[in-house]
Amino acid sequence: MKVLVTGAAGAIGSTLAERLVREGHEVTALDCFTEYYDVAQKEANADALATAGVTVARIDLAEDDLAPHMRGVEAIFHCAAQPGISASVPFDTYERNNIRATERLLEAARSSDALGHFINIATSSIYGKEANGPETSEPKPASHYGVTKLAAEQLAMALHRDIGFPATSLRLFSVYGERERPDKLYHKLIRAILAGELFPLYEGSREHVRSYTYVGDIVDGFLAVLARRDAVLGEVINIGTDVTHTTGEGIDLVQELMGKEARFDMQPPRPGDQKETAADISKARRLLGYDPRTGLREGLAHEIAWVEAMQR
């Protein structure tokens, strides 16, 4: 199958693209290489894809001509997004990279006669500060990221409702693992410990509850969606683990695995941060046979080894 992956130089997109190639699919990979985080890390991810036989095209979904990249595409995984909940990112950036980019991609996808499945990658931030219910829970996003990702999801689902466009949307929960963005918890913590630097810890965040989900388990869910198209068209599905940990437990586990203590710089609470994510994956289990298997200790050991290898 010919599969297009947007955001293909990111952590999730690059891991997905590699798996698709190993499964025998032909992959078209797109990424904008924005400067939201270190472009060098994305370039390293792209180099790994090149080794697997996939070239990542530098494409801005909000501006560039997308039609040439749609030829023969049978499935699209739309992983590209403006991430994070930082107040330093203006709303216009979220609107451009999450809403406008998705709308343009959907319009281009509609022109592809071969397309059989558009898989939108959404987020538990759509639910708001407490994400612990089923997909029918009322969306209550508390950040520009959550608001614009909900809008992007609804653009895809509106097309499905209107003209039967073959869309599915997956709401992901607290993804971590190899290639994690440098601004995310575990990558930043591991690097701080290795460098002996202060780690910024937001007040009250040790008590936050998370469904920390290993990136390999996330991609397992993606492949199950690809294989069970007819069962999931028009559906919104939570993809994560139903095993939860507090952020404090995760931090303590990193320190234990590394055999070193972190030094903390306490910061005021972060606006828009989620207090609890607890993935209800009963729908994913029923429709996909989804069964995430990687425990937090195992997944963090993989990520620590990856960060240490990057530092050498």
Residues with a catalytic annotation lie at 145
Answer for the pair 220, 288: CB distance below 8 angstroms, yes or no: no
Distance CA 214, CA 197 (A): 26
Distance CA 28, CA 4 (A): 5
Answer for the pair 112, 42: CB distance below 8 angstroms, yes or no: no
**Cα angle for residues 86, 153, 58 (degrees, 5° grid):** 70
